[in-house]
Amino acid sequence: MLEPIIEVKNLTKTYKAAQKKFRQKTSYIHAVKNINFQVLPGESFGIVGESGSGKSTIAHLIMGINKVTEGEIIFRGRNIAQLSRGGEREICRNLQIVFQDPYSSLNPKKSIEWTLTEPLIIHSIGTKASRKEKVIEVLEEVGLGESYLKKKPHELSGGQRQRIAIASALILEPEVIVIDEGVSALDVSIQASILNLLNELKEKHKLTYIFISHDLNVVQYFCDKIAVVYLGDLIELFQTEEFHQEEHAEYTKKLFNAIPDVSFTSRTS
Amino acid sequence: MAKLMLEVNNLNVSIKVKQKVYPALEDITFKVNENQVVGVVGESGSGKSLTAQSILGILPANTEVTGSIKLENDELINKSSKAWQKLRSNEVSLIFQEPMTALNPLMKVGKQISEVLRKHTNYSNNECYRKTIDILKEVGLKRPESIYHSYTHELSGGMRQRIVIAIALVNNPKLIIADEPTTALDVTIQAQIIDLLKDIMKKRNGAMLFISHDWGVISQVCDYVLVMYAGKIVEQGPMENLISNPQHPYTKGLLKAIPDFKKRGEALYSIPLRVPALTERRKGNWPYIEITEENKQVVADIFPEILQRETKE
């Protein structure tokens, strides 16, 4: 049995609800509630759900962007749910995130070289020369080249920006990359090339992905396991391979039946 | 024989940037019949939205338009802005993509719908109100009276999109243009909106131009499709034919790139070309890709047109 790389136990995040009346008792809203799952090394773990279901909250909690209210996140045998800032820094070398919108996740005023060198400087890795070498190496890995070093984000297309975002996640050689709607904003042909790239990198670097998406076609193609989240609850977790055989929860069926299919079998006139 | 609603012939749109003129749309020719949904697919930058904008007469000021757009035999190009204004919502109307930005957050949604009637018809206040309630019912909203008095932030994404649809429909336009109406929505809500649009089309015998980059949605809604690349129609045909038997290599490529369960474990196909930016385009040079010895084969595989062009020269 493989040891899980990330284990989430009873993960809960609550927010204070707005007080509607003066001296009203504060009530709490659950963003996510009692989430439990394990991610094995080398796996692509998909999380799907509608907007507001809490799928991105889970990603943010794992990354330490939001503070966990209750529960544990165990990464390599260590609970990272309640870390100090210093501890976080050490962990985040091994945990990286790729955001949805490559237009807003890159600093528009800085060159690509700066964007990619910054993580190395923060973690004080290498010398100036070796950093540059590393940056070029990563750029080549994501299918771009040295010529992109001096470019700024506005000179790049959506697909190229997303490659830069992946490169900046990759540069610290993490074990786990969280991809929060990482291909949702892209056209289908570019989306295909990014998915291929992610699969190649996974093979090469033995990466583990936590892949968050609302696009069920993509998740079915890309992920080994799928977790369905609805209103902050984890409803179901199954192997993608077994999707067509098993019995599923009502909500899962509803969700997957809603995918428009590019064929005429599903078309009702 | 179905009645012809919209006829676009040799539509060319060029955009002027810093004193230079670049082609944005070239030779767009297609028809929309009554009772027909025509889909427009393409990557970003392919000119889908620009086509819609030219039919609505809302192109930016630095554009030049030639060709012809006929709506029920009425030529739209070179109409005065006053004439356009009359046309919109009476004859053509638009369903926007982003319901959050298309609606006014400071105005009750009922007012936003009835505003269309107030501007374009002579109905009394009372009639406007009743028409608005009717349209709210038609787009599938329960409790229309209380929805009338609510603001956009009180409604969910799906409800907002229904309001946007109601605004487009309220004045019974002959042609509806839907610009990515489901892109911002979740799959379950998307399915509901698709059903609603299909229902409405059936009831009203209207004609619709449906713009989307999502083949799944297009295949559900449309009867006829146009595939666009860099401002030109690459291929057009009836839906069933086009999906089961695409002729153009570019269309084939787009269809191959869609991920799904059956393609698990294999690499996806991806078109090795990107859509050229506007300022890289030269007129008469479509698909605007600089051809070198190395990429010649790649380009010719996807756009065999370039070979014909070379022999012509």
Give the span between the Cα atoms of B261 and A246, in whole angstroms: 15
Question: Binning pLDDT at 50, 70 and 90, where does residue A113 land?
Answer: very high
B309 pLDDT more than 70 = no
Q: Among A247, A215, A254, which residue's Cα sits nearest to residue A48?
A: A215
> Looking at the domain assignment, is residue A193 inside a domain?
yes
Q: Which residues of A129-157 are buried (b: 16+ CB within 10 A; e: fewer)?
A: eebbebbbebbebbbbeeebbeeebeebb
- The verdict on a CB contact (< 8 Å) between A192 and B44 is no
Q: Give which of B83, B101, B103 is closest to B91, Cα–Cα.
A: B83
Q: What pLDDT score was predicted for residue A1?
A: 64
Contact yes or no for A228/A49 (Cβ under 8 A): yes
Question: What angle (nearest 5°) sits at the alpha carbon of residue B35, between those of residues B32 and B36?
Answer: 45
| Longest distance between any two alpha carbons in chain A, whole Å | 65
Lowest mean pLDDT among A137-151, B198-212, B263-277: B263-277
Percent of chain B with pLDDT over 90: 29
Q: Which residue in the set B186, B264, B270 is minimally distant from A214, CB to CB?
A: B186
Q: What is the pLDDT of residue B312?
A: 53
Tell me, yes or no, whether A46 lies in a domain: yes
**Residue A191 contacts residue A218 (beta carbons within 8 Å):** yes
CB within 8 Å of chain A, chain B residues 161-220: 186-191, 194, 213-217, 219-220
B186 vs A contacts (CB less than 8 Å): 50-51, 214
Minimal CA separation from A262 to chain B, in Å: 5
Write out the E strands in A100-240: 176-180, 208-213, 225-230, 233-239
Query: What is the ipTM metric for this complex?
Result: 0.74
Convert the pLDDT of each residue in A76-85 to its tens digit: 888 888 777 6
Amino acid letter, residue B286: W
DSSP bridge pairs for A211: A46, A179
Q: Distance (Å) from the C-alpha of residue A190 to the closest C-alpha of chain B?
A: 7
Q: Does A184 touch chain B (CB under 8 A)?
A: no
3-state secondary structure of A86: helix
**B177: CB partners within 8 A, 6+ apart:** B52, B55, B56, B92, B93, B94, B95, B208, B209, B211
Answer whether residue A265 is part of any domain.
no
User: Does the structure show a pLDDT above 90 at A52?
Assistant: no
Domain contains A162: yes
Give B159-210 pLDDT, tens digit per residue: 999 999 999 999 888 899 998 888 777 788 888 888 999 888 888 888 999 9
CA atoms of A133 and A174, how far apart (whole Å): 18
Binary contact (A258, B188; C-beta < 8 A): yes
Q: Would you place residue B283 in the very low, low, confident or very high pLDDT band (cuts 50, 70, 90)?
A: confident
pLDDT reading at A269 higher than 50: no
Residue A215 — pLDDT band, cuts 50, 70, 90? confident
Question: Which residues on chain B are in Cβ contact (under 8 Å) with A18?
Answer: none
Q: How many CB pairs under 8 A join A and B?
A: 105
A192 vs B contacts (CB less than 8 Å): 257-259, 268-270
Q: What's the mean pLDDT in B275-295? A: 78
Note the pLDDT of residue A266: 42
User: For residue B145, with 0-12 CB atoms within 10 Å meaning exposed, 13-18 middle and 19 or more buried, which class applies?
Assistant: exposed
Instruction: Answer yes or no: are the C-beta atoms of B209 and B52 closer than 8 Å.
Output: yes
**In chain B, domain spans:** 106-171
Instruction: For A9-49, write each residue's pLDDT tens digit.
Output: 999 998 887 777 777 777 888 888 899 999 999 999 999 98
**A146-166 pLDDT, tens per residue?**
888 998 988 888 888 889 999
The CATH number that applies at residue A85 is 3.40.50.300
Any domain includes A262: no
A254 CB neighbours in chain B (<8 A) are: 188
Number of structural domains, chain A?
Answer: 1
Q: Is A202 exposed, middle or buried (0-12, 13-18, 19+ CB in 10 A)?
A: middle
pLDDT of A89 reads 67
Residue-number span of the structural domain to which A30 is assigned: 6-256
Task: Calculate the average pLDDT of chain B.
Answer: 87
CB contact under 8 A, A221 and B270: no
Residues of B within 8 A of A51 (CB-CB) are 157, 186
In a domain, A267, yes or no: no
Q: Do A221 and B189 touch (CB under 8 A)?
A: no
Q: State whether residue A203 sits within 8 Å of chain B by CB.
A: no
CA distance A40 to B198: 44
Residue A132, H or E segment: helix A128-141
Cα B158 to Cα A31: distance, rounded to the nearest angstrom: 21
Is B271 in the A-facing interface, judged by CB distances under 8 Å?
A: yes
- Tokens representing A145? 């080249």
Instruction: Match 């540059």 to its residue by tokens.
Output: A132
Which residues of B are less than 8 Å from A190 in CB distance? 43, 270, 274
